[in-house]
């Protein structure tokens, strides 16, 4: 019966593959950030004695692109509700949790692929991977970010029926998550209150995991992994309970 999970996963990938516009469109923003911030603030960053900004920034932008794609995956639940496909899955004799798992894995894979694309592009914009052996670890962290925030997006979408409200709510959540995660700046030299906020933000650990694997870590990869793991389990549990309560 795991074929149900597999086919839900496959569906997400097919839909992603077939909408090339979406694939290319979601690459625009990360590239803009890399170019504008990477080159724009690069000189200032270097003068402050922090080294190359692109080297610092790239893992953060990779995490950002995964975060955005993953959270917006949730909208597919609302589309499916609007265009009726959700009904087809809800009257089928399968456990809702399997539908939820397949959907989340599929969405996470899409977000992960998007992150890989951004990582590759960043190599052309001046990013160097110093620890080649650690690439698999970086990929694992990228997938964890994808998983955590796809689950979160899906959970939020399960609560909503309104297609227009979803992007507003998601933007309201992802902006602080992104800006207060250490994706854009080193977290060591910020005021204490900001440090606390960053410490409470799950994305910080994802960003640190990716950056730690490719360059240098701040929190330690063990803690990063632990926080991401616990986050994924917690959000998935909440999400599947919300998803299983959907009535049409």
Over the window 151 to 170, marking each residue x when it contacts another protein by CB under 8 A and - when it does not, the resulting string is: ----------x---------
115-149 in b/e form (b: 16+ CB < 10 A) is bbbbbebbeeebbebeeeebeebbbbbbbbbbbbb
Q: Does 195 bind another protein (CB under 8 A)?
A: no
Report 5-64 residues binding another protein (CB under 8 A). 7, 11, 14-15, 18-19
Decide whether 74 or 202 has the Cβ nearer to another protein: 74
* Residue count, binding to another protein (CB under 8 A): 27
Cβ neighbors of 128 (< 8 A, separation 6 or more) are 55
Decide whether 86 or 213 has the Cβ nearer to another protein: 86
Decide whether 80 or 173 has the Cβ nearer to another protein: 80
| List 20, 47, 49, 93, residue binding another protein (CB under 8 A) | 93
Residues composing the chain: 248
**How does DSSP assign 159-228, residue by residue?**
H---TTHHHHHHHHHHHHHHHTTTSSS-STTS-HHHHHHHHH-HHHHHHHHHHHHHS--SS-HHHHHHHH
Q: Does 90 bind another protein (CB under 8 A)?
A: yes
What residues make contact with another protein under the rule CB under 8 A? Answer: 1, 3-4, 7, 11, 14-15, 18-19, 80, 83-94, 161, 245-248
């Amino acid at each position: 019966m795991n074929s149900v999970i597999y086919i839900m996963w496959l569906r997400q990938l097919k839909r992603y593959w077939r909408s090339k516009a979406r694939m290319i469109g979601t690459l625009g923003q990360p590239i803009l950030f890399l170019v504008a911030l990477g080159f724009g603030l690069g000189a200032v960053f270097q003068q402050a004695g922090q080294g190359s900004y692109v080297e610092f920034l790239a893992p953060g932008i990779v995490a950002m692109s995964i975060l955005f794609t993953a959270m917006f995956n949730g909208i597919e639940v609302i589309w499916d509700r609007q265009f009726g496909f959700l009904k087809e899955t809800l009257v089928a004799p399968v456990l809702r949790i399997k539908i939820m798992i397949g959907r989340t894995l599929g969405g996470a894979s899409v977000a992960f692929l998007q992150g890989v694309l951004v990582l590759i592009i960043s190599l052309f914009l001046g990013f160097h991977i110093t620890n080649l052996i650690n690439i698999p670890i970086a990929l694992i962290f990228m997938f964890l970010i994808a998983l955590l925030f796809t689950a979160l997006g899906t959970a939020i979408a399960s609560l909503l029926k309104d297609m227009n409200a979803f992007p507003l709510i998601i933007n309201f959540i992802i902006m602080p998550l992104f800006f207060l995660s250490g994706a854009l700046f080193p977290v060591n030299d910020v005021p204490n209150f900001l440090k606390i906020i960053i410490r409470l933000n799950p994305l910080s650990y994802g960003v640190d995991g990716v950056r730690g694997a490719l360059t240098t870590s701040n929190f330690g990869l063990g803690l990063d992994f632990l926080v991401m793991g616990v986050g994924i389990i917690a959000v998935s549990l909440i999400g599947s309970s919300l998803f299983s309560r959907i009535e049409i």
